[in-house]
Amino acid sequence: MAKRFIKILILLSICSVLTACQGLPIPEEKKDYIGTWLGDGMMLVITKDGGIQYERVSGKGTKKITAPLQEFQGDDFVAGVLFIKTTFHVKEKPFQDGATWKMVVDDVELTKSTGRIGLTVPDTDILETLAKESMNDFARSVKGDDFAVAYDGISKLWQSETSAGELRDVFKAFIEREIDLMPLTSLDPVFSEPPYISEEHRLVLNGYYTAQPMVQFTFQYVYEHPKWALSGININM
């Protein structure tokens, strides 16, 4: 009964974590906004669940934004957290030019990419390294009752919506039950299915560790140039 109770607590905690980095879902009437848009010195990524990633290179340097969608204001849209917000001015909302989708944002003509640049499943050694690093950070945080390490390893979007203390609260069941995951840090993860890129542009790793008891995991990552960053975690024992 106690083990079942622990599992329920863990699963409930994970449900909160997997939705932590989502913004306002894109309304049906705005679904044409979803995708990866490329233009002169600009990349804009809008995901189905309301994630916004923006990068623009100009003579003044490079501006980067990774934040959840807050709202649409007509054709314009606003991304940010609390009082820190950025409004993207849409001069021309998404339209089709032959077989190509286009949009004009902040006076830059953007073209929707059929596949986001850089978003291909990495080589196996990189995938294993990602899983090992994520599990190592999580195991150390649980063992030391300090989620600063895990917090440093998550995506900027997730960091913008939580703190190390709040992350610790989500996983307090692991700490309270003194679950020691450190032995897993010396093991190689086994992928139970081929890693893939989801419709929300997330890299998804499903697998397990051949420990006793067996530990199953799901790690999700978003690409924040120049690397993949953890955006969701599910540990099942």
What pLDDT does residue 199 have? 74
- Residues 163 and 196 placed together within one structural domain of the fold: yes
What pLDDT does residue 233 have? 94
Domain end residue (candidates: 58, 87, 113) = 113
- Residues 90 and 41 placed together within one structural domain of the fold: yes
- Residues 99 and 154 placed together within one structural domain of the fold: no
What pLDDT does residue 22 have? 53
- Residues 225 and 132 placed together within one structural domain of the fold: yes
What pLDDT does residue 237 have? 85
The tally of domains found in the chain comes to: 2
The yes-or-no verdict on residue 60 having pLDDT over 90 is no
- Residues 194 and 221 placed together within one structural domain of the fold: yes
Mean pLDDT of the 3-7 span: 39
Residue 90 identity (one-letter amino acid): V
- Residues 145 and 105 placed together within one structural domain of the fold: no
Q: Contact, 139 vs 147, CB < 8 A?
A: no
Q: Whole-number mean pLDDT of the chain?
A: 85
Spatial distance between the Cα atoms of 221 and 203, rounded to a whole number of angstroms: 5
- Residues 13 and 47 placed together within one structural domain of the fold: no
Give pLDDT tens digits for 78-97. 999 878 899 999 999 999 98
Mean pLDDT of the 18-22 span: 42
Its domain, for residue 104, covers 28-113
DSSP labels for 49-76? TSEEEEEEEETTEEEEEEEEEEEEETTE
- Residues 193 and 226 placed together within one structural domain of the fold: yes
The percent helix, strand, coil of the chain (3-state, each to 5) is 30, 40, 30
What pLDDT does residue 59 have? 67
Which has the closest alpha carbon to 168: 202, 145, 136?
145
- Residues 46 and 128 placed together within one structural domain of the fold: no
Neighbouring CB atoms inside 10 A of 124's CB total: 10
Domain end residue (candidates: 81, 113, 145) = 113
Alpha helices in the chain (DSSP H): 2-18, 124-144, 148-153, 156-159, 164-170, 172-176
Spatial distance between the Cα atoms of 65 and 54, rounded to a whole number of angstroms: 5
Cα-atom radius of gyration of the chain, to the nearest Å? 19
**Tokens found for residue 58:** 């100009």
Name the percent of the chain lying above pLDDT 70.
86
Q: CA angle, 203 as apex, 134 and 103 as ends, to 5°? A: 135
**Between 113 and 10, the higher pLDDT residue:** 113
Of 9-18, 36-45, 123-132, the one with minimum mean pLDDT is 9-18
The yes-or-no verdict on residue 1 having pLDDT over 60 is no
Q: Contact, 116 vs 45, CB < 8 A?
A: yes
- CATH code of residue 76: 2.40.128
Which CA distances in Å does 18 have to 14, 32, 92, 158?
6, 25, 33, 10
**Tokens found for residue 206:** 């499903």
Q: Contact, 50 vs 24, CB < 8 A?
A: yes
Tell me the pTM: 0.58
What pLDDT does residue 11 have? 38
The yes-or-no verdict on residue 77 having pLDDT over 80 is yes
The yes-or-no verdict on residue 18 having pLDDT over 50 is no
- Residues 137 and 231 placed together within one structural domain of the fold: yes
Domain end residue (candidates: 65, 98, 113) = 113
What pLDDT does residue 114 have? 65
- CATH code of residue 212: 3.10.450
Give pLDDT tens digits for 198-219. 877 789 999 999 988 899 999 9
Spatial distance between the Cα atoms of 56 and 32, rounded to a whole number of angstroms: 21
- Residues 49 and 87 placed together within one structural domain of the fold: yes
What pLDDT does residue 26 have? 94
Q: Is the peptide bond before 226 cis (omega within 30 degrees of 0)?
A: yes
Give pLDDT tens digits for 178-197. 999 999 999 999 999 999 98
Give pLDDT tens digits for 104-145. 999 999 988 765 555 678 899 999 999 999 999 999 999 999
- Residues 36 and 14 placed together within one structural domain of the fold: no
